[in-house]
Structure 1
Amino acid sequence: MSDKQTVKVQLVRSPIGTKQSHRDTIRGLGLRKLNSVSELEDTPAVRGMINKVAYLVKVL
């Protein structure tokens, strides 16, 4: 097990109809399809991205 903290993020709402920057952020988080899950390093940058699109994602 790694000693780096990680955070799992799941796409729960479709980014269709949202701002382009929000769609880009979703892609930056490694999420493609609905209900896809991505495990990312827990950094301030990643936290900021999650916060920006909090209405589209769920943190597991």
Structure 2
Amino acid sequence: MTSVNPKSIKVTLVKSVNGQIQRHRATVRGLGLRRIRDTVTVADTPEIRGMIRSSIHLLKVEEQK
């Protein structure tokens, strides 16, 4: 049985992906961010946390309840 995780994370792209390595570009795109100041709300899972950790220098992260 899967459990529903009510927590979510608000992620905003604050720096451009131009000049970044391809892995960081793909991670930002995988989070659903396309351009600077785009914001998405994603589920708080270990997979998403790992994606955020790999590209944290490009993102602003806020916890939501």
TM-score (norm: length of structure 2): 0.86
Q: Secondary structure at the match of 2:12?
A: strand
Partner deviation per Cα, 1:2-47 (whole Å, 9 max, x = no partner): 9621000000000100000100000000100101001000000000
1:59 alignment partner in structure 2: 61
Structure 1 residues 3 and 48 mapped into 2: Cα distance closer, same or farther (>3 Å)? closer
1:36 alignment partner in structure 2: 38
Counterpart-to-counterpart distance in 2, 1:45 and 1:3: 13
- Over the aligned positions, Cα root-mean-square deviation in angstroms equals 1.3
Which residue identity lines up with residue 48 of structure 1 in the other structure? G
Q: % of aligned pairs identical?
A: 44
- Name stretches of at least 5 consecutive residues in structure 1 with no aligned partner: none
Counterpart-to-counterpart distance in 1, 2:6 and 2:57: 26
Deviation beyond 3 Å, 4+ runs, structure 1: none
Which residue identity lines up with residue 27 of structure 2 in the other structure? T
Q: Say yes or no: does 1:45 pair with 2:31.
A: no
How many residues are aligned here? 59
Q: Secondary structure at the match of 1:55?
A: helix
